[in-house]
Structures are given as C-alpha cells and as structure tokens.
Structure 1
Amino acid sequence: SFKSEQMSPPQISDYLDRVVKPELQAINGVASAEILGGSTFAMRAWLDPARMAALGVTPLDVRDALAANNFTTAAGEIKAGFTQQNINAQTSLETPEQFAQLVIARHGTEIVRLGQIARIDLGPQNYDSTSAFDGVKAVFMGIQTTPDSNPLTVIGNVREAMPEIQRLLPQGLEAKIAYDATEFINSSIWEVAKTLAEAAVIVIIVIFLFLGNLRSTFIPVVTIPLSLIGVALALVALGYSINLLTLLALVLAIGLVVDDAIVVVENIHRHIEEGMKPFNAALQGAREITGPVIAMTITLAAVYAPIGFTAGLTGALFREFAFTLAGAVIVSGVIALTLSPMMTSKLLKEHDEGSRFGRFVERVFGRLQAFYRRRLDGTIGQRAVFAWVAVLTIAVSVVLYQAIGRQLAPAEDQGVLFAFVNAPEHTNLDYLQTYTDDLTGTFMAVPEKQNLFAINGFPNSHSAFMGLILRPWEKRDRSDLTVMGELQPKFMAVPGVQVFATAPSAIPVGAGELPVEFVLTYPGDYTKLADVLDTLKAEAMKSGLFIFTNADLRFSTPQVELIVDKDKANTLGVTMRDVGATLATLLGGNNVNRFTVQGRSYEVIPQVPRGERSTADRVLQYRVRAADGTMVPLSAFISLGQTVQPNGLQTFQQLNSATLQGVPFPGRTIGEAIGFLEAKVKEIMPQGMSYDFKGESRQFVTEGNTLAVTFLFALILIYLVLAAQFESFRDPFIILIGLPATVFGALFVLWVLGNINGMMQNDTPINLGSGTINIYTQIGLVTLIGLIAKHGILMVEFANKLQETQGLDKNLAIKEAAAIRLRPILMTTASMVIGVVPLLLANGAGAKSRFDIGIVIAAGMTIGTLFTLFITPAIYSYVARDRRHMREEAVVAAKPAEAAEAKRLPPMSAAAE
C-alpha cells in the first residue's frame, strides 16, 4: 500500500506507474505489478453543452480538432556533410494551457478555442474506483509471480527490494506491505519443520521405552538422520525442493524409517537373549529377517507409486510427497539390512542383564506375550467369527465412507478474510462507498484485526473488495472461521447491499471465485436460464447449507432507451453517426488520443461534467448540427424509454450460461453443497439444459474419485507385489486381511469428528481437523495399506518358515510367529502412531491438513493393529497352505547330496577321529 497526505491518488498512481512498477517487474519471477484502487493522469476536457450550442460547436468538432492538432510524430533527421541532426516537430500538446488554446472551429473571422467551451485540467483517467488502507486513502500494487517460479523466493526478493524503494519515495509518500499470501506458506513450513523435530524426539523416546536399552535404541535411531540425508540427496537428484509437502512427508517418514531397523534389532536381540554370540546373532537374525524387510520395504514404497503417477491436481500436489516417502522407505530398508546388523554385533553385549528399567521392560513384554498367546488359542478356535468380523468391517466402512462429508481440501486458517460487497446494478460509486465506510467500522472493531484494505469499484463500479488481515496465529485465540461466523450475521443485516465474507481457498483457484461455482448451460435464450437459476438460488438458501449465494445472471439492470425517429432526423439532416459520436463523446468518457509528458503518454478525454449527465432529460438537451447549420436538441427527434437488461451475458464451453456461486456454512462441506444442487437442478431444469462446474467445485468433482481409484490401484499393486514375493495368492490375502479394520478405524474417527464439527460449526476450542474425506485424509488411507501390510508380512513370513523348517502345523506356526513378532509389531505401530502425535497437536498455519493426515494414520494404525493381531492368525489358520511337506521334500532331497559329499571327503585319521 502507498499513502500520502500531500499527494493525490492520481499523483501516487502516476509515480507508481513511472518508477515503482518497473522496479518491481524487473525482479526475476515477477509476472506483473498492477496498480489497484488508483488511476493515472489524463487530460480531462470538461465540455459545457450550453456554450457549445451557443458557439455552434458539436462534440464531433471537438474530437476532430483534438485528433488533428494533438499529434505526436517522429519527424526524421537531416544530414549534411559529416553531420546529422534529429528533427523534433512540436505537433503535440502537453499542458492544460496549450489544450485550452486549441482551435476547435472557425466561423468567418471568429475563432472558437477549446478553453471557451470546456474546463481543462489534469485529472484521474477514471473516477470509478477508490481504495483505503486501515481507513485512510491509499493506492495498492498487486504483485503476481510467474507460474514456474517459487513464490517464496520471488516475494522474498520483493521484500529485499522494498527498503531501497522506500528510500527513493517522494517526501510524504509511505509504503507498507499490506498483505502477503506467502506468510501463510512460510508459517506452515516453519510449523512442519518444528513438527519434524518433535516427531524425531518422540520416536526416539518410544523406541527406548520399548527396548529399555540405550545401546539398542541408538541403532534404529541412527536410521533417522541417515535416511533423511539419503532422501535429501534424492530430492536434489529429482529437482525437488524443500516445501510444505516434502516436509510433511519427512514427518511421516520419521515413524516409517525406524520400522525396518526396529524389526532387525529386535530379532537379533532375541537371539542374543537365547544365548547366541552377538556376531552370530547378527548374522542369523539378519538372514532370518531379510525376506520380511525386503517385502515390507517394497510394499510400502510401492504404495506411493500410484500417487506419484496420478494426473491432475492430486498428482501435481502430492507427487513430491509420494516420492519423498518412497525414497525414505527404500533408504531405511537398505540401512536396516546393512548398517543395523553391523552395529548390533558391535554394540549389544552377550549376557547383558541391562538396567533395572530394561529388566522391567523385558518382564512387561514377557507377560504381555504370555497373555497374547492365551488369547490366540481362543481366536483360532473362533476363526469363523473373525472372518465375519472382517466382512462386517468392510460393509461398515463402505457405509461410513458414504456418510462422511467431502471436500477437496480442509479449510485452513490463512490469517485473512475477504469480503465482497455487491450494490444494485443501477447504483454508482458514491452509493457503494457509503456502505463500505460503514463496513470499515465493523471490520475495525474485530479484536483480531491487524490491517484492513478496501478497494471500491472492483471489479465494477457497484462492487467492492475488502480484506481483513488477522493477527498472527500465535497472537489470537479465535480462528478465521470463528471471526467470519461472527461477522456474517452483521453483514446479512445490512440493507441496500449484499455483503458476504469468505476465507481464501486452501488450493489454487481463480481470483474472485467462491467455493461453489455451479454453472447452468442452455442453447436457448437467457431468460429461461435466469428463471431456473433464480429458483435454484432460492432452494439453496432454504436448504440451510449456504451462508451466501449469488446468481451472475439477473435481469435487474435498468437501462434508458433513446428511441430515434429516423425520419425526423433525416429531415433535419442529422446522421446516426452524428448522434452516436455526440453521445459517446459527451457521456462515454472515451479517449481521443494521447499526449506525452516527460517521455510518458497519457489519454486525452473529452466529456461533460457529472452534473450535465445526471438524468436522461439532460441528455435530450444535447445539441447536434442540422443540415442548415443550426444547432438542434436531441429531443427534436429522440424520445425516452425504459427497459430492464441483464447485468451480463456469459458463455461456458460455447453455450449460453449462468452461474450460481455460494459459500457453505462453517461445518458444511462443498460436497454436501454440490450434492444438493445436483439433486435439485435435476428436478427443475427443462429438456436441453445441463450443468457443469467451475473453479474449486470443478476441481472437487474432477479429483473426487481420483484418490479412490488410486486406493484401489495401490491395493491391487500391493497384492501383486506380495504374490510375487511369497509365490502365493493366498498369503497376500492373509497379509491384507487387517486392512478393512484399519480403514474402518480411520473412517469411524473421521465420522465422529465430522459430526462434532458440524454441531459446533467448526467453532471447536481445539483443532479437530475437518472430519471430511479430502485429499489429505485419502493420502492417509492409501498410506495405511503399506503400514498395516507390514504387520501381516512379519507374521505370515515367519509362520511359513516355521512350517517349512520345524515341521509345525499351520495353527501352531501362526501362534508362535504372532507371539514372537508381537513386540516388533507393537513397536513399529507405536513409533508410527506416537510419531504423528505432533500432527494431532498442530496449531497455527496449515494445522488442519496436518491433523487430517495424522488422525487417519493414528486411528487406522491403532485400531487396525489391534484387529490384525487377532484376525491375521485366525484367517491364516483358515486359509494358509500346509507347508510341512516342503520340509520333508527338502530332507529327502538333501540325503543324496550328503552321500555324494561324503564320497568326496578324504578318510579321517585316528588322530582326527
């Protein structure tokens, strides 16, 4: 914003256009720097119709004289001998005094100059906009970045340039950054970076609590920095940056990267406890766990492949997120199979009784394992019941998925509220400004207010755009939606204008677009479109879903019709060109040409003063020249009429269109709003009419099923990967049998939170997320596929090995495998669930998105793990193959090989014997 007590808005605008705008647009990455709420200079010729008539001058005379005698040209140059000189022909006018001396007409010896029929001054190019910052007149500059630039870098460069720009400003002109959208991005990144550190500390504590040994804890903890370094190198290689989504991926990676190392360390530690030397235990434990670790790593990395290759908005937003997580998982798997066994063999000690706390941890897990073994006996005996439980969770999950509200992304508190003010179409700027002045007082009374800007006449003379910038997140207790909920009833009570407030969208949409943009298209006339749109608008407001609706097609704009009697005009010798040019010059404010001052050109605009165009009757007093040279009033051949016209005619995909815009109530989702409009419009629209969407609504509809398809594709991909790894189509089914319960847990919690938010209209004292199905919660659901599959892999792979190597039947094998793998399963679950606790306690910028993905993972993993620990053994005993014959075949195959080997060995000596 730029404001001054000494300079007028046109002077400020002119200085910005000449000096500041070029400086800002020269910054790399700046696409444009546009002046808002101000107007540059123009040479205004305020014509006096009465004087013109008295002196026999018409508007056409004025236009022709200005065009002919204010002419800028490059005259050329002269050359002589060894010299040349440029020629400057003074054919243009530069000052009001020069324009006043311009000859307009000549009647014999009498000369009529422009100054005799007009008041000449240097004024604003237009009078249809004003602006203010914190209630004081100001002019704004809006800076847009190029699509391929990093906005944080670009706006950072703009901020660096501001001190130098401020230093060069004329005395009395003050500059201040009024609103910076990148503050939300910067704050979000900082919050996620803090969450990353918090998650790392929490995961380290969890690992220590489960292992009870600092040496054992150190081994998986080393995986965290090494994995993050490896991912950073991968990001550089892929050309990615550290941004909000890659940092969020790293937060989730903290809980993921330690999983493989935990499994390896726990298995080696178990062998040491059974009496093996640390080195031998490391070899044996690593060999045993190599298969499961590879399977878990490939499975979890493969989960993110469909997300990374998804097209559209989801792919654009989450491609870096997906590849960052996949890279972290792969790096951690390599570390777990190489560095972790080596460190274990060196750091863990044989017959180490450990600390008192360590012995306490061992006793607790021993008792827990014994309790779990007893419960497994009953589980396997009731395996049919657990099979039905799995089926039931699938059915309930489908119902919950349909019942939960949907939106593209959670509504984030971005620290700003925008207000749109719409006055009736027949009103002018003065009418509008009286209301925005009153609204300024309402905004200024908000306790959370930091700054307020208002632009009257944007995007047209009967509309205004206002922005309330709130104090930083840590300096206020109420969210933007709470403030909006308080303001909107006050706005709705304002008579004479339509006012509504909205928060900016959490995703990129077009400027000025609202959350709901419902488009009706029709090949017929616009009146039918308007009728259907009005009915739909009324039904929408009655539904209780919308805090505000607006129809962009309204037949409510009054229009004066000048009815020309062409016969009378022809008799008088007046042409339609004379009539049109007269009206356009006197009323339209159209420029004739331009004049140049100090190397910059400005418009020349002849027009009658406002008092001479206040009523339609005044227009009829304007005079034109008849064929006989007399000046006749327009009333001699024109009469007045009145009609009502549409405020504007729009097309969409080459069809006549009309759009219903809307803002849902806090606590109601865009999915509910769109669903209602779709159902209602099908009841009322005639044959041939159809509907479509724009802006965020279109993105919601387009992306709505993208991640659902991605979820199914990821599930199929994981099943095929597991089938290839286990060489079985049964084992992947057993491994993934816990997924329905996991999804059920996540969806159930979302449903509960959604209902709480709905009842309280999102005005909850703590952050409870959105409680909706959105791109963040769906990413969390996809992640759960790989996370819960890791538990199944640990149990199924070990049970298969026990069948093959020890000849146990599948019931005993799965009970033993589940009991032995209980500790690593609980540890990996705890590290993941507790690792996302900082996301659940998030506040500030971007908190809802972080909460949404965190609550899905926490709830899904917690409930899913409890189910998996019992459902997987039950289904394994029911479905898995009996693998004991593989051991017998291996023994039979080994005997001939042993005999052949014995023949090749030399006879042992007595001493050797």
Structure 2
Amino acid sequence: MLAARWIKRPEPGEGGESGEKSGGHSHGSDSKSGKFWQKIDGAYTFMLKLSMRHRWAVVLICVLTVASIVPLYNYVGMAFLPDEDESLYQINLRGPQGTSLSATQSILDRIARDVRAELPGVKSTLVLAGFGRGRGPNVGFINVSLAPVKERELSQAEMINRTRAIARKYSNKDYQVSVSASSSIAGSIGLGRGGSGVGYFIAGPDMTRLNEYANILVEKMKADPAFRDPDSSVEVGTPEIRVAIDRTKAADLGVRAGDVAQALNIMAAGQIVSSYSEGSNQYDVVVRADERFRRDRSNFNLFTVASTTGGTVGLDRVVKLEEGLAPSTISRLNRLRQVTVGASLPPNASESDALAKLEQYVKELNLPAEYVTGVTGQSKELQKAYESFMLAFLLSFVFMYLVLAAQFESFIHPITILLTLPLAVPFALLSTALAGQTLNIFSALGILLLFGIVKKNAILQIDHTNSLRAKGMNRYDAIIQANRDRLRPILMTTLALVAGMIPLTLGTGAGAATNRSIGILVLGGQSLCLLLTLLAVPVFYSLFDDAGETKFFRSIGEGLGKMRDAITRPFSAAFSSKFSKKEDGSKPSDIGDDDLVEGGRRA
C-alpha cells in the first residue's frame, strides 16, 4: 500500500528497462532518488570494474584483512559475560580464625554505614555475618542494592571502585575485604552471583606447600593492576591438637591404633552405645566426655584405653599431643588436596588476558610433577564456551557448504560464498575494540548472525550472475550487470539491519550491556565489511570459475557427477516405476533411463 502511494509511475522512456545505464531499476533519472541512486550505482560500477581488472590485488587485500583477525582478537580479548549493571554488588569480609560472630557483625555494620553515607545512589544494604565462603563466625558479606540506573549519576562500576576505597580502611593483615559485582546470569548457571573474574586451582598431596604456592600467587596478583581483590581459599589459623601415636610403645603395652582412635572419638565426638524407647519415640544413648574435661588438655591423662594383655593403659603413655594451626576446610580433587586462587577484574577487562597472566605466574612456580593445575569457576566456563563456539563455527561452515552445494548444484560456487564470511570477522572485532568492549558469549552469537547476512548477500550476487549467464550473457558482462542489479536489495537489507541494531547499541537500563555487545558487533561489522564483500564476491566468482575450467577440476566434477548419478539412479527408477503403476494400473516394465528421457521429451 505504501509503495503504491509513494512510488511514482515512470514516464515512457525514463527507465523500466534493465540496462547498464539505469542499473536495472525503474526510477526516473530526473527524480531526486533516481539521481542519488545513479551516483551510488556509478561509483560502485567504477570500483567493480576496477576490481575485476586487478583481481589479485583484491585477493591480497582480502588475505591481509583475514590475517588481521589474530592481532585484533589479541587486542580485544574474551570474557564469559558482559559487565551488566544490575544495581547490585557484594562486599565480602573474612577475619582471622577465632573471631567472634559479634565482632564480625560489628565490622560489617560499620562498612555498611560508611557505604550508605558516602555513596549517592545506595538504596539499601543487607548485612549477613556467619555466611559466605566457609560459613564460619569470621566471615560475612554485605549485599548493596542501588537505585535504578536512570535514577543515579554513577554507574555500578564506579560505585564498586568507590566502595573499594572505603574497604581499604578496614583491610589489613587480619581482615580481608573484597568487592565484586553481581551477575544473575552467572548465578542461574551455577557459578554463584559473583561478577567477572578468574579462578585457578592447584591440587597436590602436601597442604603446606599448597598454601605456600597460593600465597605466592596472591602476592603476584596484588602487584598486578590487571587483578582486583585477589584471594585464596586457604584459611590457615584454626587451632587444633594433633595426636601422634607412639607405635613402638603402644605395641609393647599391647595397645592397638584402632583402639586409640576409638577412645579419642568417644572422648571428643561421642559414640552411640545403646538406645531406649519412651512412648512412640526412640532415643540414642551417647557416651561422651564431659565438656570441662574436653576443654582442658591437662585432663587428657585421665582417659584410658584397653590393652590386649588385660587392663587399661593411660592415653598419655602411648600418644603425644602437638598444638598447631590448620585450614578450616580442605577441598579435594580426585583425592588430592586443592587450593583455589581467584580475583575480580576491572570493568570491560579481558578474562582471557588475565587468565594468560595467571597461567604464566603458575608456570613460574615450577610445580613438581605430582601437582596438577587448571582453571575453575567462570574461567572454566569461558574455556568451554570458547571450544563450543569454535566447534559451532566449524559445523556452520560444513552445513552451509552442503546446503549451498545442493542449491547451486556446484561444488565450487559454495566455496566462493564461504570465503566471504571470514572477511566480516575483522570488522566485527574492530567495531568491538573501538567501543571498548570484549568478546563474550553474546557477541559470539552476533558473529553467527553476521555470517548469515554476509552469506545471504553473496547468494544474491552469485545466483543472479548464473541466471544471466544461462540466458547467454558472457561472464564479465553478467558479473557486472548482476552485481549492479543486486546492489539495491543488498543496501536495503543492510540499512534495515543497521537501523534495527541502533536501539540495541544506544539502549540503557536493565540488560543494556548484553544488548550492546550484540548490537555494536553486528552494526559495525556489517557496515564496515559491506563494500569489501560486494567487491570480493565477483572477484572470487571469476577466479573459481576459471579454476573450474581446468582439467583437474573438470575431472573432479565428472567423478562427483558419476557418483551422484550412481546414488540417485535407484531412487529415480523406483519413483518412475511407482508413478507408472499408479497411471495405468499395470505392472511396470523395465524402462531404461534413455527411454524415460525420451518419453519426457515427447511429453
């Protein structure tokens, strides 16, 4: 309806005939749109003819463009998720072992009070002591809720930086305070609500050496500005009493190690020895040392253990007590003890670059062979996502080739189309770099979308070229005319796509960072690569068409054609027989392929 109202009918002789002068379009040359289009068409025709005269120069430009993917990718880097402003972040506190719950609560309250007083835009704070990593009385965290993005002047990243300045007043050798962004997406896939960061684990048999390695890594990360709030999972400081059995003396006295362990278990933890029933309820009877005897190690000599020779022996005669410090929790990986080192990253920082630095620090430790290392948490998900997308890209090329080969009935033209897809990647990376962003799982989806648009444009160009050649036009004229005819629809779809990406790029509010990571990549990538792909497709088409005329490729084509005929002939014969039976109801006779062809011609 709008086209019928807006587009004027051309006067006789103004256009309407497809030709090189008008570019195959029926807009009058006197109209403003016609004059504007003639300038675009003339400029494109000039560049197209120039490219066809210097085909290998275009190939060289394409090769250099594809080669720029490596430095651009290294500059941009990768992140698992974009830095989304969710108006929520977390302050974590960890104190020394033995800190009371009330002391932890007091420090958290003071930090929360300073945050509310010094930072504009803080909506509320939620203080939880005794919860967090380790769930002990010495740990806790503060959930800081911010006002909506439109109601505050500072972004979430700026609020976090100011909060770190407040946290430094409370951070010392005893207390560690860290600040991390909140990510609901990471929480929904089981990575916790922490924001972007890196994590690395070291596993081995000796916990003491693991603690040393972790401390070295943390110190190196603190000196590197690429990391924020580095920390390890080791919490050495829990007092404990180690019991060492003197096995020689125990053997002389007839005391078994198992009996010693059982006696210690009864003394400290207790043991169920019986049960009794009262009404419908049944209760366990637990034997355990009284609390006043368990708290004082001087009472240890009052406990005895049974001897195989008869009688009892005092525990202090067969064991030695040693006081020391130990981690509150011990994590294991494949029955090996492990420690985890992690840190937050600055806004829009590359997780891949930070992870590479951390891996370099680990290599400098020169770990023994019995120690194993690896990424964990969000860093592990980043590696898995990278591998999955590389596989997706590879499979997408394979499936596109199969579909295009069936569509064009050619094994060469699909290669022409697929060669244009890598040309879009450098421009996508360039637009991402200019916007100060990193690649993530959402922008990777944008690359797949970009592939689809570039492939569609190439199909339009090649399909129309083949149509004109089938009508008797020579190859050069068909290439020029077909690409001029398809320039307008390609520009229309490109402008429509770019216009659709502008709201995603300029949008604010919830989910803006996610939308922006897709919008910037698609908008910049398609806009910047358009001219190169419009010139590269006809050049590649002519080069591969020349290659297809060589003896080598003709023999390959004939062999593949015979293979195709051998595969499809049984199906064609079966279909023809079934069709003949339905027509006359008689039993189909043996009909050869030549008879079928001749019959089709007579029909």
TM-score (normalised: structure 1) = 0.50
SS at structure 2 position matched to 1:549: strand
Task: Report how far residue 788 of structure 1 moved.
Answer: 0.6
Q: Is 1:786 the equivalent of 2:435?
A: no
Query: Counterpart of 1:492?
Result: 168
Q: Quick one: structure 1 residues 500 and 707, their matched pair in 2 at CA, closer, same or farther if it must change by over 3 Å?
A: same
Counterpart for residue 463 of structure 1: 139
Q: What does residue 502 of structure 1 align with? A: 180
Aligned CA distance change for structure 1 residues 380 and 270 (closer, same or farther; 3 Å): farther
Q: Does 1:702 align with 2:374?
A: no
SS of 1:386's equivalent in the other structure is: helix
Number of aligned residues: 510
Say yes or no: does 1:744 pair with 2:421.
no
Q: CA deviation at 1:638?
A: 12
Match for residue 392 of structure 1 among 50, 53, 64:
64
SS of residue paired to 2:435? helix
2:153 paired residue number: 477
Cα deviation code 1:191-250 (max 9, x no counterpart) = xxxxxxxxxxxxxxxxxxxxxx822699xxxxxxxxxxxxxxxxxxxxxxxxxxxxxxxx
CA distance, structure 1, for counterparts of residue 475 and residue 124 of structure 2 = 70
**Equivalent residue in structure 1 for 2:32, among 360, 367, 371:** 360
What one-letter code is carried by the residue in structure 2 that aligns with 1:370? G
1:705 match: secondary structure: helix
Alignment pair present for 1:425 and 2:97: yes
Find the aligned partners of 1:270 and 1:621 in 2 and give their Cα distance.
114
Q: Distance in 2 between matches of 1:714 and 1:486?
A: 45
Once residues 269 and 877 of structure 1 are traced to their aligned partners in structure 2, the CA distance between those partners, rounded to angstroms, is: 35
1:541 and 1:724 map into 2 onto residues whose CA distance is: 58
Aligned to 1:842: 507
- CA distance in 1 between counterparts of 2:527 and 2:389 reads 23
Matches within 5 A, 1:331-342: none
Indicate which of 441, 448, 455 corresponds to 1:775. 441
Whether the 8 Å contact between 1:735 and 1:791 is mirrored in structure 2 is no
Per-residue deviation, 1:564:
11
CA distance in 2, matches of 1:392, 1:217: 47
Q: Distance in 2 between matches of 1:816 and 1:528?
A: 73
Match of residue 496, structure 2, among 827, 831, 834: 831
- Pairing 1:666–2:347 present: yes
1:437 matched residue in structure 2: 109
Give 1:442 shift. Answer: 2.0
| CA deviation profile, 1:571-627 (whole Å, cap 9, x unmatched) | xxxx99898767669xxxx9x999x9xx9x9xx9x9999xx99x97x775899899x
Contact 1:519 1:660 in 2 (8 A): yes
Indicate the SS of the match to 1:425.
coil
Which residue does 2:577 correspond to in 1?
Answer: none
Shift of 1:863: 1.3
- 1:502 partner amino acid: S
Write the distance in 1 (CA, Å) between the matches of 2:264 and 2:162.
53
| 1:509–1:696 CA contact under 8 A, matched in 2 | no
The answer to whether the Cα contact below 8 Å between 2:115 and 2:166 also exists between their aligned partners in 1 is no
- 2:127 alignment partner in structure 1: 454
Percent identity at matched positions?
A: 25
**Judging changes above 3 Å, is the alpha-carbon distance between structure 1 residues 269 and 785 closer, same or farther for their aligned structure 2 residues?**
farther
Unaligned runs of 5+ in 2: 19-25, 254-259, 305-314, 550-597
CA contact (8 A) 1:521 1:689 kept: yes
CA distance in 2, matches of 1:818, 1:578: 90
1:154 is aligned to none
Deviations 1:14-70 (A, max 9, x none): xxxxxxxxxxxxxxxxxxxxxxxxxxxxxxxxxxxxxxxxxxxxxxxxxxxxxxxxx
Structure-2 residue corresponding to 1:856: 521
Cα distance change on mapping 1:661 and 1:398 into 2, 3 Å? closer
Cα distance change on mapping 1:576 and 1:829 into 2, 3 Å: closer
Seen in structure 2, the aligned counterparts of structure 1 residues 703 and 677 have a Cα distance that, compared at 3 Å, is: same
Per-residue deviation, residues 865-889 of structure 1 (Å, max 9, x unmatched) = 11122222333333335999xxxxx
Aligned-pair Cα RMSD in Å: 4.5
Aligned mates of 2:548, 2:297 — CA distance in 1:
100
Length-normalised TM-score, structure 2: 0.73
User: 1:878 aligned to 2:543?
Assistant: yes
- Tell me the distance in 2 between the aligned counterparts of 1:521 and 1:472: 43
Output aligned runs, 1:540-619, within 5 Å: 540-559=221-240
Once the two structures are superposed, the pairs formed by residues 59-458 of structure 1 within 5 Å of their partners are 214-215=2-3, 359-445=31-117, 446-458=119-131
Taking a change above 3 Å as real, the CA distance of residues 638 and 871 of structure 1, as seen in their structure-2 partners, is closer
Is the Cα–Cα contact under 8 Å of residues 28 and 34 in structure 2 kept in the other structure?
no
Q: Determine which of 382, 388, 403 is the counterpart of 1:721.
A: 403
Give a deviation string over 1:268-306, Cα, whole Å, max 9, x none: 999998559xxxx9xxxxxxxxxxxxxxxxxxxxxxxxx
2:486 corresponds in structure 1 to 821
Which one-letter code corresponds to 1:484 in the other structure?
A: I
Q: Which residue in 1 is equivalent to 2:570?
A: none
Contact 1:406 1:670 in 2 (8 A): yes
Note closer, same or farther for the CA distance 1:878–1:640 as it changes in structure 2 (3 Å cut).
closer
* Structure 1 counterpart of 2:444, one-letter code: Q
Please list the CA deviations of residues 617-649 of structure 1 after superposition, one character each: whole Å capped at 9, or x if unmatched: x775899899xxxxxxx99x9998631222322
| Alignment of 1:691 onto 2:385 | no
CA contact (8 A) 2:460 2:486 kept: yes
* In the alignment, structure 1 residue 538 sits paired with structure 2 residue 203: no
Q: 1:564 to 1:353 in 2, by over 3 A?
A: closer
Q: Distance in 1 between matches of 2:54 and 2:372?
A: 55
The 1:703–1:423 alpha-carbon spacing in structure 2 relative to 1, beyond 3 Å, is same
Deviations 1:104-144 (A, max 9, x none): xxxxxxxxxxxxxxxxxxxxxxxxxxxxxxxxxxxxxxxxx
DSSP 3-state at the match of 2:85:
coil
Which residue in 2 is equivalent to 1:521?
203
Alpha-carbon offset, residue 386 of structure 1: 0.6
Does residue 804 (structure 1) correspond to residue 473 (structure 2)? The answer is no
1:743/1:638 Cα in 2 relative to 1: closer, same or farther (>3 Å)? closer
The one-character-per-residue Cα deviations of 1:808-866 (angstroms, maximum 9, x if unpaired) are: 22221111111111111100100011111110012111111111111111111111211
Using the alignment, how far apart are the partners of 2:242 and 2:408 within structure 1?
Answer: 82
Question: Segments of 4+ in structure 1 off by > 4 A?
Answer: 268-276, 351-354, 560-567, 575-585, 606-609, 618-626, 637-641, 881-884
CA displacement, residues 314-358 of structure 1 (integer Å, 9 cap, x when unaligned): xxxxxxxxxxxxxxxxxxxxxxxxxxxxxxxxxxxxx9989x9xx
Give the partner amino acid of 2:147.
R
Structure 2 CA distance for partners of 1:775 and 1:882, relative to 1, 3 Å: closer
Deviation at 1:544, TM superposition (A): 2.2
